[in-house]
A and B are shown apart, each in its own frame.
Chain A
């Protein structure tokens, strides 16, 4: 009786284990990004805050009319973030070096190892070989974990929609442009050539080249080259990055590195726990009759045996 129950217990434990089996983490190495991944180099020293990139994005992605027209500079009074109506925004930052205040364009940075992608339990996100992080709204459940997981606070959610709320974020104009090798709308329209589209690897070289040629113009750092495991969008700046609203405390590890500890533990629990606890059960009830039976039923069971 006892042995049969034990075997059954093991079987069920095994079944439970196999249910959990697909959840074993993919081994996450240090992924450096696809070799042909495209990117954009944002030279914030060239940006004049004309907001034409915002307008181009609005038109390309067929977003709703903005609350404030795109030629209105009063929006710079406060710091804005990406929303369901604006996949990219430009902010102005005050510095105390007496020079003109820098502007910085903000949108999805298209990480090499995106936090949103790794946190999504229905695999709604894809990092394409062209470098874009795109989103499939047809499977999205709306758990909003990707918004928690994004270190740059980019994904927005259409909270106002009752029946089809979705994540809204920059997709690198993937479906209309990037797929065909064309630069995104914002890059194409930029009058200052503050945005440069190209292979990510080339852009990194170009960025370092600019820093080398005109060291007075830039700090010696390309934000996004290594941050959070590297991003497709890269930033050059005249002032330290944190002064233009870039988070410099994030470190160079992608989001998933923080989660690896837990994911690595999962198969251990799945395989060790059944044996461990069945073993403890056998030890704990060794000297008792039918320890796994309830008191009030032990006589019946005995009778049957």
Chain B
């Protein structure tokens, strides 16, 4: 892509292709490239070939799950009803998707307009995370076609899962509304943009409520199994707080991680505002994440003290618990403290990745690894189960990339008037801006990464 831009291709960032012609929908879809150019750049990208291989193996397995049943793909059993799909997919994905409500709250409710450049990435990350968590759920459910039942057919209002179902579905619609602003801008539907802007505050506040409740509710689901979840990962009074609070650093760090990957692979899509503010915003997010981590660590310790579970720490499970806390909380907290103070961005980005992994580890531990700790046999996931997880995550990455390439997430959509102004004043500016090599992310490896990106062409 970068090579193409260097050779004069224009990226779509406003409704007008030139002063007298608008982009057609197909042109927008192909990123403003011609069809041969578009296919050419897609084929040149080795990552796309990896994706193709994963799909070739994974998609038949996903279809097989619906033809041959769950036992064909999972080792989920009567003792381990929740396998990798839920532990890794649903419980891991949802806390990393809290970014939508976090950045929405920071920008719209707390008035932190300095975070605005990354707000849309946060919202999109939230929407996609939830959407794919639901995809994982659909794969795991015995009868996925009955998913709407708790809404329309039969109500079990005393169940925590009832809350989760209602809140996740309501929140998904809220998030679709929030992200639709970018979509309306892109397809050119200003009435929609204005309509959503008007209800932004309402959407954001309902987002906070729904997120608090269902992030917590996912934790509360485990309070149904007091004898099965290992005591170190279980707390009747604090379980929902653990899940909710850990989702805060989780969501923020996920945004840092995604923006880092994007800056390595698709900086051509960034506009000047995003390039200029990325480092500053990353530091702000890291500060937020550190506070979240500190809170999380405190209540983790409190819950152990509350039920007096210190003795478990000396067991094998206890050491595993300490490993999880070190990787996911203490090491990143220390690194954050150092890196924020010295403005060392690579370290911030690395610790953000640690936090993301730490959240995954925590959810896996709670739902699968230490689950049924009193039983002798442990569940080892089936290879097809792993293949399906990898495939669904790949679909997630493909959809994520597809949207980031097109919608105004990393760049601001220019309205017709703005475009005309810029075009009249300095016809070359907009094009020049985007062709500037993205060397803003001052790290030593950047030049090399940039060269790589060039050869990868997206």
Contact = CB atoms under 8 A, between A and B. Distances in A.
Given A159-B76, A161-B69, A162-B69, A262 B217 contact: yes
Contact of A144 (B82, B205, B223): B82
Interface string A115-151: 1001111111000000000000001111111011101
Nearest to A4: B198
Nearest to B73: A159
B401 interface: no
A288 B226 CA distance: 49
A142 B198 contact: no
Interface string B195-231: 0011111110110111011001101110111111000
A101 interface: no
Interface stretch (A38-46, A205-213, A214-222, A293-301): A293-301
B110 A23 contact: no
Nearest to A1: B198
Contact of B111 (A9, A151, A259, A285): A285
A294 B109 contact: no
A280 B110 CA distance: 7
Interface residues of A, number: 84
A159 B206 contact: no
Nearest to A274: B205
Nearest to B170: A19
Nearest to A24: B157
A145 B159 contact: yes
Number of contact residues on B: which range applies?
35 or more
Nearest to B163: A23
If over half of B's interface residues share one DSSP class (helix, strand or loop), that class is named, otherwise mixed; here it is helix
Contacts of B153: 122, 139
Contact of B166 (A5, A20, A155): A20
Interface string A244-286: 0001011000011011011101100110011001101100110
Interface string B341-383: 0000000000000000000000000000000001000000000
B343 to A, nearest CB: 25
A292 B161 contact: no
Interface string B39-77: 000000000000000000000000000111111001011
A22 B70 CA distance: 33
B157 A26 contact: yes
A157 B81 contact: yes
B154 A123 contact: yes
Nearest to B141: A142
Interface in B208-258: 208-210, 212-213, 216-217, 219-221, 223-228, 236-237, 239-240
Nearest to B71: A159
Given A23-B166, A157-B81, A296-B412, A277 B147 contact: no
A277 B198 contact: no
Interface of B: 66-71, 74, 76-79, 81-82, 105, 108-111, 113, 116, 141-144, 146-147, 149-150, 153-167, 170, 197-203, 205-206, 208-210, 212-213, 216-217, 219-221, 223-228, 236-237, 239-240, 374, 412
12 contacts: A8-B198, A8-B201, A13-B206, A25-B157, A142-B143, A151-B225, A159-B69, A255-B224, A261-B237, A262-B220, A277-B105, A278-B201
